[in-house]
Chains A and B, each alone.
Chain A
């Protein structure tokens, strides 16, 4: 029984069968809301699906040797780890099955950005290398805040287990941690104020410059799955615990869409920041906030 529920979580909900259409849906919501903010009509509803199928049918450039193999491997690794991260989300905490803790989720969420860094360097394109270097600097700066936020949530609630976290009543510090995660999400998803790594037109397509056809389709899919995983993490931390299954799913989806809308509005309202400004933002402003959160969490833990 446990194996069946684990497989169901991995493959059906919130795993692949749910996550892939939602990845496309979130990509559409992002593009559509940016278009609406700019006074345009924007792409049709099925656009990310059309893009994906079209990319699957395109030719591939010939690549030989280990470099070519690596370039094939990175997007697959990114997609599988992002899908794993989505499957770990405790949307239905009582159902059991495929279980993990926050640390595994964080590791899986981190793998796609590692893959992007490696992909840019293994493509040997000068623009890819610049993009990868930027991604590396960015991930070093936002990850400290991201990790501190997660640790402060875990310390304030005395558990790292996702199921237990989803069932506990949220404390004030959990909301503080959620805000910190929310600040890190635009950088994780390469959205506009922090869209340095794939700065369109400025450094061509950044790490993705040399990728084409099915590989690019995999990158698009992993980006969409990162959207689902990132917004889903916040949704599971914010959603109040309800015993009804369908209500929990509905709440999860509604909060995720609200966060996607919030991030897209932010992306269309802001311009890209330079690398030094971005790094300063995360190290100076947000790090203070995160250190405050974790120290109060530790203090609370000592008192109780």
Chain B
């Protein structure tokens, strides 16, 4: 049983399948995520596979500053990814809402809605940073196993300064 658990842990680390989700991104981070799968960076060496369905994925890669319209979709997709799972926030937008801070169309940052394991900062981050972030998330996921981190408690949106 112990051997099986160690094998499972190893296999989870070596086979992270990702699902890419855009929550209102400017497409900058999205093309960098795709670039990390191209011949120059070749994330498939680590077993990374871009999946079409969140049901197949282990790691949810979210880009964008989380617009109000995207919140429901993010929560749905997060619950559709089956455990053990991890979340990677790609770019500065999901981490801090970046230059869109205080915008009334936003409900960010991302970790107010779902637990985030790895932040990859940058605007956009380089593909090698994204590959490193995915590898780190795969390690976290393998060590954590079936225990899921709790969902963050809902808080009222931060009210920014008065806007014209």
* Residues of A bordering B, CB below 8 Å: 31, 35, 38-44, 46-47, 49-51, 53-54, 57-61, 127, 200-201, 203-206, 208-213, 216
Contacts and interface: CB of A to CB of B under 8 A. Distances in A.
B83 A59 contact: yes
B155 interface: no
B112 to A, nearest CB: 25
A61 B55 contact: yes
B30 interface: no
A54 B44 contact: no
Contact of B44 (A35, A50, A127, A208): A35
A40 B39 contact: yes
Contacts of B146: 59
Contacts of B10: 50
Given A58-B82, A208-B56, A53 B44 contact: no
Contact of A61 (B15, B47, B52, B82): B82
B123 interface: no
A212 B82 CA distance: 8
Given A40-B44, A209-B55, A57 B12 contact: yes
Contacts of B27: none
Interface string B27-56: 000000000001100101101011111011
Contact of B56 (A50, A127, A201, A205): A205
A208 B45 CA distance: 24
B55 A42 contact: no
- By Cβ-Cβ distance, the 5 closest A-B pairs, closest first, are A53-B11, A212-B55, A204-B52, A205-B52, A39-B39
B8 A47 contact: no
7 contacts: A35-B44, A39-B39, A44-B47, A54-B12, A57-B12, A61-B55, A210-B53
A38 B39 contact: yes
B82 to A, nearest CB: 4
Given A43-B44, A47-B47, A208 B14 contact: no
Given A58-B84, A59-B83, 5 more contacts: A43-B45, A49-B11, A50-B11, A54-B12, A58-B82
Question: Which of A42, A60, A212 is most buried by chain B, counting CB atoms within 10 A of its CB?
Answer: A212
B27 to A, nearest CB: 16
A53 B58 CA distance: 13
B156 to A, nearest CB: 32
B7 interface: yes
A61 to B, nearest CB: 6
A42 B39 contact: no
Contacts of A206: 52
A240 B44 CA distance: 39
Contacts of A53: 7-8, 11
Nearest to B14: A50
Contacts of B51: 205
Contact of B55 (A39, A41, A57, A211): A211
Contacts of A47: 14-15, 47
A199 to B, nearest CB: 9
A50 B55 contact: no
Contacts of A61: 55, 82
Contacts of A40: 38-39, 42, 44-45
A66 to B, nearest CB: 20
Contacts of A43: 44-45, 47
Contacts of B53: 127, 204-205, 208-210
A41 B82 contact: no
B55 A210 contact: yes
A249 to B, nearest CB: 29
B45 A42 contact: yes
Contact of A54 (B39, B42, B45, B58): B58
A212 B45 contact: no
A53 B83 CA distance: 14
